[in-house]
Amino acid sequence: MELFDKMQAYLNSLDQRRFYQYLAGILGAILLCLFLLLFYYYHSISSLKAEADEINDLRQDGQILLNRAQRIKKDQKEIDAVLAQDKNFKIRGYFQDLINKLGLAQKKSKDSEFDVTPGSAQEGTYQESILDAQFTSMSMKELTELLQEIELNKRVFIKALDISDSKQANSIDVTLVIATLEPKQRETSESTE
């Protein structure tokens, strides 16, 4: 209590002007402290919110990667199942049988021997075998039937299709590139056709 009595005596001894100056200084200091506390609080909140947003973005990216990995594993199982159905599949033999079935053997370009080349090595356990075929004087109906038959076979996919005008009326020239995935061969074994 003695401290309060001394403070009261000191304040009573001050003239009114000096009292208001001290009062304004004290209130200013209190307001400055409040302002600094609020600034620190809101700054901390905004930095924590930015950090939470960044963590959420990383979580979403991780979820996308996990979904992609699951889809890749599912696709790999499907490819393995398709490959297991016919282990002796030859893309050249398949394509030759297909054009004979559709009656397109006479439309084959004289230069085209249905060359099979090893494609780019896929990551993992697969490699591509690519077949290039050229046809002349085809109708659009014949082309659509050929493409439809290729699409029905899960083992084969179309890599490229180039259609150009033929020298004969109402017909087209077609360059078709199809491919299949095969199990990667060891370096000592021969590539399949």
pLDDT tens per residue across span 112-160: 566 566 665 556 677 888 888 888 888 899 999 999 999 998 889 999 9
* pLDDT value for 190: 44
Q: Strand 115-121 to strand 156-165: parallel, antiparallel, or no bridges (unpaired)? A: unpaired
pLDDT recorded at residue 188: 36
pLDDT of residue 29: 95
Mean pLDDT of 21-43: 94
State the helix-helix crossing angle for 140-152 and 91-102, rounded to 10 degrees.
Answer: 140
Question: What is the rounded CA–CA span in Å between residue 41 and residue 55?
Answer: 21
Tell me, what's the pLDDT at 191? 46
What letter represents residue 6's amino acid?
A: K
Distance CA 150, CA 157 (A): 7
- Residue 192 burial (CB count, 10 A): 17
pLDDT at 1 over 70: yes
Tell me the two tokens of residue 177.
């590139």
Distance CA 188, CA 95 (A): 27
pTM of the model: 0.58
User: Which pLDDT score, from 0 to 100, does residue 49 have?
Assistant: 96
Q: Compute the distance between CA of residue 36 and CA of residue 150 in angstroms, rounded to an integer.
A: 73
Q: How far, in Å, CA of 14 to CA of 20, rounded?
A: 10
What number is the average pLDDT over the span 64-72? 94
